[in-house]
A and B are shown apart, each in its own frame.
Chain A
Amino acid sequence: MNKLLLLALCPMIIALLGLVPRTARWLPKIAAVLMIIQLPIVGWLCSLIAKGEMLAYGPFVMDGIGTAFTVITTLVAVTSMIQAAMILPAERIMENPRMTDRRFTLFYTLSALFILTMYAVPLATHLGYLWIMIEATTLMSAPLIDYHRSRGALEATWKYLLLCSVGIAFALFGTMLIFASQHGLPGGGTMIFNHMIKQAQAFDPRLLRLGFVFCLLGYGTKAGIFPLHNWLPDAHSEAPSTVSALLSGALLNCALVAIWRLSQVMLASSQAALVHQLLVPAGAITVIAASLMLVSQHDLKRMLAYSSVEHIGLLTLAIGIGSGPVFILQAFNHSIVKVAFFLLAGNILYLSGTKLLSKLSGILKTVPLWGILLTVAAFAIAGSPPFGVFISEWLLLSKTFAAKEWLAAIMVIVGLTVTFIAISTHIGQVLFGKKINPLRSAPVWGWAIVPMSLLLISLLAGVSVTPSVMNMLTNLVNR
């Protein structure tokens, strides 16, 4: 059997179990356990990669970028599913009998398939399969957003489905243009990235450039690059928090991996200037626009969504200046902290029944532990030392200065400053002030373990980035 297929084993079991409504009572726990088993599996696969083994299944290859994002997706998926096992059954008791067994287990099937498609995207080394997998992530995740079946959730689902489908249609057009740009090659061209990079000099530059622009529009919609980010805050705020964590921590990365792979083809075809001209301003503008929109937020999860948009801007900038290691590092750090933050927001939403910033206050007095974790998460996401986000943002800025992109660097600095102020003001409002009356009781320590361990990982990532780690990442990218 192909070793790469092991990656799909646990999610597949969850997906199949979810088809049986009778499993509803114990499925959350089983799913959490199965996802924990995923950790040693991914670890083993990574150790094989480190030994230099090639893992491939058809067009799905575990190359450098693929391995890095498999690790990130695994961490995000495992932590989200563990938290889901705690919070979803508790939530369900509140919602009964509107939430039937069938709907509940179907949620697990779709989540598992969603995770599976998100594994497939960074591993797809074929232009066509990459597109198919990204479209599949949209299809699998759209019903997840509608889990609570409120009007807001429905509106968000519709917006997400429609905008991302149109975006992905643009990406399909771009894919076809890139394929058509190989009309001069014998045999009609190829869609495998490695072959494309080798033959890139013979591509028709006119169609290749058009194709890249269309793909950027398409995948940029999916990633939430300003001004194509419209669906993102709605979907992130209306989805259940564990799904928001998956969307923000893993899905957005997927679309950016696609842009990264395409940018590699562009570089090989001596079109670096276009990549630079498009992605650097796009990233810088996204950072500053998101930071300005962060200021006027009145909803905790919406605020987190805009913070994700800001980090997407940073990642786009990292691709634009062509720095693979910083791209991976920043994606890792953002995903880890953002997942912790979303899960904490989910806890608070459960406890207080509201996510409106104006109605939340005094969390530090009501539930001290969550309050402290929220403070730590806010500092970590806003990029304060010694957390991982600080290091990767610092590296990104120094690379941007080294690339002589003064304007972009200044815009990013302004954006990050505004973000820091906005997030600390909003979170300060949630933390201090009058103690609120909790709507329900929740196991404080149990629900805090996952966010706490994620924040610890972020702290470790912050103190352990040394030149040797960066060298390792550089080697990984060049594989």
Chain B
Amino acid sequence: MNFSLIEILAAGSATLAVLMCGITSLKAQLQALACQTALFAGICVLVGIQQHAEHFLILALVIFLLKAIGIPLFLGWSSQRMGIQRDTGVTLNPGITLMMGFGALLAGYFLTPQFAVQSAGNPICAGISLALLFIGMLLMITRRLAISQVVGFLVMENGIFLYGLTQTHGMPHLVEMAAIFEVLIAVLIAGLVIFRINRSFEHIDVSKMRTLRH
């Protein structure tokens, strides 16, 4: 079986996502996120070369600068200022989460025929983007700290972008840019809210925020 370079990069990002399920150190997790997003920038460049469209190169640059460097740096800086290093997870320990991450990858593989666009090539990428969606959700559910939940959200977002990149004939690039920009603002607002949570609750453990009841 021959794999294209795009598929190999996507597989690399999926491996990193599974690894993230088992990592408890916040710093290592942010580094994994940065690497994963950098791989996406690479995929974006490859897609641009394949389709002979320059705007993919600009998109790749934006993804690399904002999402692969900017956001992890911002989150790392915030966690450092709040003195947080580790997220032990809430219901599942990291080992079990890691296994479930593999399960998500498997689920993505089996769902590939449902989601892939045959004419676009790279059907494996459709499965991988689904797996990233699942893993992002898994991270959001099993992690305790508000910052790790943001990381989970970004993994989800990466998976969705992978799908848009590899399975469509290029989304209108204005829409794509705006979407990236909005993710950036969402992360900034989340960061501000996390700071405020840290100040008024003296922790950012989301599982302990239970004032509001139904």
Contacts and interface: CB of A to CB of B under 8 A. Distances in A.
A440 interface: no
A158 interface: yes
Interface of B: 114-115, 117, 119-120, 133, 137, 140, 146, 149, 153, 156-157, 160, 163-164, 167-172, 174-175, 178-179, 182, 185-186, 189-190, 192-193, 196-197, 200-201, 206, 209, 211-212, 214
A179 B171 contact: yes
A351 interface: no
Nearest to A172: B160
Contacts of B167: 176, 180
Given A128-B172, A179-B168, A135 B182 contact: yes
A293 B156 contact: no
Interface in A159-193: 159, 161-162, 165-166, 169, 172-173, 176-177, 179-180, 183-184, 187-189, 191
Interface of A: 128-129, 131-132, 135-136, 138-139, 142-143, 146, 149, 151-152, 154-159, 161-162, 165-166, 169, 172-173, 176-177, 179-180, 183-184, 187-189, 191, 204, 206-207, 210, 233-234, 237-238, 293
Given A154-B201, A238-B212, 16 more contacts: A128-B172, A132-B182, A136-B182, A146-B193, A151-B211, A161-B190, A161-B193, A162-B140, A165-B186, A169-B153, A173-B160, A173-B163, A179-B168, A180-B167, A183-B117, A210-B115
A128 B149 CA distance: 26
Q: Would you list the 6 A-B pairs with minimal beta carbon distance, nearest first? A: A188-B169, A128-B175, A176-B164, A180-B168, A155-B209, A173-B160
A162 B153 contact: yes
Contact of B168 (A138, A157, A188): A188
A154 B171 contact: no
B153 A166 contact: yes
Contact of B171 (A128, A142, A158, A183): A128
Contacts of A131: 175, 179
Is the contact region of chain B dominated by helix, strand, or loop, or is it mixed?
helix
B189 A158 contact: no
A238 B212 CA distance: 9
A57 to B, nearest CB: 15
A139 B158 CA distance: 19
Nearest to A156: B212
Given A162-B149, A169-B153, A188 B200 contact: no
A151 B201 contact: yes
Contacts of A189: 168-169
B117 A139 contact: no
B207 to A, nearest CB: 12
A154 B193 contact: yes
B193 A183 contact: no
28 contacts: A128-B174, A131-B175, A131-B179, A132-B175, A135-B179, A135-B182, A135-B186, A139-B189, A143-B189, A143-B192, A149-B196, A151-B211, A158-B206, A161-B189, A162-B190, A165-B186, A166-B153, A169-B153, A169-B156, A172-B179, A177-B163, A179-B171, A180-B117, A183-B168, A188-B169, A204-B117, A207-B115, A210-B114
A180 B209 CA distance: 40
A329 B209 CA distance: 39
Contacts of B182: 132, 135-136, 139
